[in-house]
């Protein structure tokens, strides 16, 4: 759970806390954010860009959605690549975050299916995955991904990656 406390005048309190997941068997910390000034700066500059998040792991998906919504992004959620493709067809997002290893349609197949439908893809494509193998990173970059981040990750890492991809 992500919480930002506020003072009586409504301004953000200098303490930003990201509480670890409390369910057994779930990674105790998906990410943490340590710099409130980075958060506040990002909040001030966000213009409700739309992000499609394709992630099959419930706790990872929920925590990432919480972070993105806290930062004022509109978030469209899918549990696998096939569902992500359907969501993409309904509303073209400004950015796509996807896991690689998923049931039904993996992240690589998802990117190829989007390319087949929409040539070229205007939305930056970022892979978010547990795999840190060099061959996977190279494959993502060869496929034209804008970025790649491995789980577990720091929230500020993901935010910087998203902001950089949206600037291009």
Is the pLDDT higher at 87 or at 48?
A: 87
Q: What is the CATH number of domain 46-167?
A: 3.40.50.2300
Contact 68, 53 (CB under 8 A): yes
pLDDT band per the 50, 70, 90 thresholds, residue 42: low
Residue 167 has pLDDT above 70, yes or no: yes
- According to the model, what pLDDT value does residue 119 have? 62
Is the pLDDT higher at 28 or at 55?
A: 55
Mean pLDDT of 134-154: 85
Mean pLDDT of 89-96: 91
Q: How many CB atoms lie within 10 A of CB 122?
A: 8
Q: Which two tokens stand for residue 11?
A: 């301004």
Let me know how long the chain is: 168
Question: The pTM is what?
Answer: 0.70
Residue 23 has pLDDT above 90, yes or no: no
Domain locations in the chain as residue ranges: 46-167
């Amino acid at each position: 759970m992500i919480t930002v406390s506020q003072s009586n005048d409504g301004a953000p309190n200098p303490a930003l806390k990201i509480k670890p997941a409390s369910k057994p068997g779930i990674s105790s910390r998906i990410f943490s954010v340590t710099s409130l000034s980075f958060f506040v700066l990002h909040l001030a500059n966000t213009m409700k860009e739309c992000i499609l998040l394709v992630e099959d792991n419930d706790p990872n998906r929920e925590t990432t959605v919480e972070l993105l919504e806290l930062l004022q992004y509109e978030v469209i959620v899918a549990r696998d690549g096939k569902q992500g493709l359907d969501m993409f067809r309904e509303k073209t997002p400004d950015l796509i975050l996807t896991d690689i290893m998923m049931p039904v349609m993996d992240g690589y197949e998802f990117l190829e299916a989007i390319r087949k439908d929409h040539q070229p893809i205007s939305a930056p494509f970022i892979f978010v995955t547990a795999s840190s193998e060099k061959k996977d990173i190279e494959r993502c970059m060869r496929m034209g991904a804008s970025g790649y981040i491995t789980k577990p990750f720091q929230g500020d890492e993901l935010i910087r990656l998203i902001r950089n991809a949206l600037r291009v």
